[in-house]
């Protein structure tokens, strides 16, 4: 519990498992280190043909749409499709700051697609503001994503969606386990 | 998420947002303690500590023990476990993405990967 929610001060230099903290009631901060130079990690975050190979969420989803015009004012659009029922949802927004290999700031609005859902108060505005920073030390690049959802309600709803995904993932694993046990 | 669970999570996270309250919980994790015992390590009056204890109590994170004289506080792990599970599932989705990114970065850092595959094709 403690290392998930609040222990930020004594973080090790390389964070080998994703760390999620709630710095304020509107924000979520996700931190993770990668054994690669920051120029390369930045490419994996900004080149669509690389992004679509890892930004997939739970198993069973593919990313048929990944368009990114990475420059200030440029737009991006991400869309995922479920392998099982072909339902889709996505995110879209524009880049507000682009500092190669160092910092990205973009808006992030939810596109309910055929999945539905979303946060009513978000529809009026631009959704969340995401600040991604890349720092390199001793062969590791640490990526910090600070997601400001604009309100506590939007943040809690977004985390709850992640919760649903995680549960679905667990159910799928359970299904597989049961199948294997039966066989 | 159910409204009730959501409200309970709110009060848990609110209670955890304060460093003094986190320190009190850390102390109680070691064993029950009276208000005076809890106040001792802090440069704070007992009423100030009592205020923090009220917030923790309302969140269901601590309860008051049987002893009517000492009124020892004790930690209740259930709301903490619930809050942790809520975040943990969100974290797991990110971690699954990052593990794919690890593999991709390894692949991109293998300079000979492509030429080796070429040689193999020629041999085969």
In the A/B pair of chains, how many CB contacts fall below 8 A?
103
Q: So what's the pLDDT on residue B40? A: 86
| Closest to A106 in 3D by CA, of A136, A148, A141, A143 | A148
Q: What is the mean pLDDT of residues B96-110?
A: 94
Q: What is the pLDDT of residues B37-90, one digit of tens each?
A: 898 888 888 899 999 999 999 988 899 988 888 899 998 877 777 777 777 878
CATH 3.60.21.10 describes domain B3-76: no
Shortest Cα–Cα distance, A151 to chain B (Å): 13
Least CB–CB distance from A53: residue in B80, B100, B109? B100
Rg (CA), chain A: 17
Contact assignment for B98 to A25 by CB distance below 8 Å: no
Q: In the CATH scheme, what architecture does the domain A2-182 have?
A: 2-Layer Sandwich (3.30)
What angle separates helix B3-16 from helix B19-28, to the nearest 10 degrees? Answer: 100
Which stretch of A15-29, A124-138, A153-167 has the lowest confidence by average pLDDT? A153-167
Least CB–CB distance from B91: residue in A18, A53, A55? A18
Contact assignment for A20 to B92 by CB distance below 8 Å: no
Shortest Cα–Cα distance, B4 to chain A (Å): 13
Q: So what's the pLDDT on residue B92? A: 85
Residue of A nearest to B1 (CA): A160
Contact assignment for A36 to B16 by CB distance below 8 Å: no
A53 in reach of chain B (CB within 8 A): yes
| Closest to B79 in 3D by CA, of B16, B3, B1 | B16
On whether the CB atoms of residues A37 and A137 are closer than 8 A, the answer is no
Measure the CA–CA gap between A170 and A135, rounded to whole angstroms: 33
Q: What is the mean pLDDT of residues A8-16?
A: 63
- The domain ranges of chain A are 2-182
CA dist list (Å): B37 to A69, B18, B42, B65, B76: 59, 19, 10, 14, 18
Measure the CA–CA gap between A169 and A163, rounded to whole angstroms: 10
Contact assignment for A57 to B81 by CB distance below 8 Å: no
Q: What is the pLDDT of residues A121-155, one digit of tens each?
A: 444 456 899 999 999 999 999 999 999 988 887 88
User: What pTM does this model have?
Assistant: 0.67
CA triple B94-A42-A17, angle to 5 deg: 30
């Amino acid at each position: 519990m403690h290392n998930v929610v609040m222990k930020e001060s004594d973080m090790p230099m390389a964070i080998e498992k994703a760390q999620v903290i709630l710095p304020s009631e509107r924000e979520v901060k996700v931190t993770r280190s990668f054994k690669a130079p920051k120029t390369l990690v930045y490419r994996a975050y900004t080149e669509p043909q690389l992004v679509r190979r890892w930004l997939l969420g739970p198993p069973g989803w593919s990313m048929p749409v990944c368009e990114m015009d990475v420059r200030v004012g440029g737009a991006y659009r991400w869309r995922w499709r479920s392998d099982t029922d072909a339902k889709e949802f996505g995110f879209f927004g524009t880049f507000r700051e682009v500092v190669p290999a160092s910092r990205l700031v973009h808006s992030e609005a939810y596109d309910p697609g055929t999945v539905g859902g979303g946060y009513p108060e978000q529809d009026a505005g631009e959704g969340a503001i995401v600040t991604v920073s890349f720092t390199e030390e001793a062969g590791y690049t640490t990526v910090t994503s600070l997601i400001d959802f604009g309100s506590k309600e939007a943040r809690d709803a977004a985390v709850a969606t992640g919760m649903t995904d995680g549960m679905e993932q667990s159910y799928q694993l359970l299904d597989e386990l049961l199948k294997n046990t039966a066989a | 998420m159910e409204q009730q669970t959501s409200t309970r999570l709110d009060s848990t996270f609110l209670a955890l947002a304060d460093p003094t309250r986190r320190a009190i919980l850390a102390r109680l994790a070691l064993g029950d303690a009276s208000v005076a015992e809890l106040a001792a390590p802090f440069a704070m009056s007992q009423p100030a500590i009592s205020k923090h204890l009220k917030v923790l109590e309302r969140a269901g994170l601590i309860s008051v023990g049987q002893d009517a004289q000492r009124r020892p506080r004790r930690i209740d792990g259930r709301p903490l476990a619930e809050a942790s599970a809520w975040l943990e599932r969100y974290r797991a989705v990110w971690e699954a993405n990052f593990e794919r990114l690890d593999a991709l970065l390894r692949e991109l850092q293998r300079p000979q990967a492509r030429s080796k595959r070429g040689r193999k094709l020629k041999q085969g």
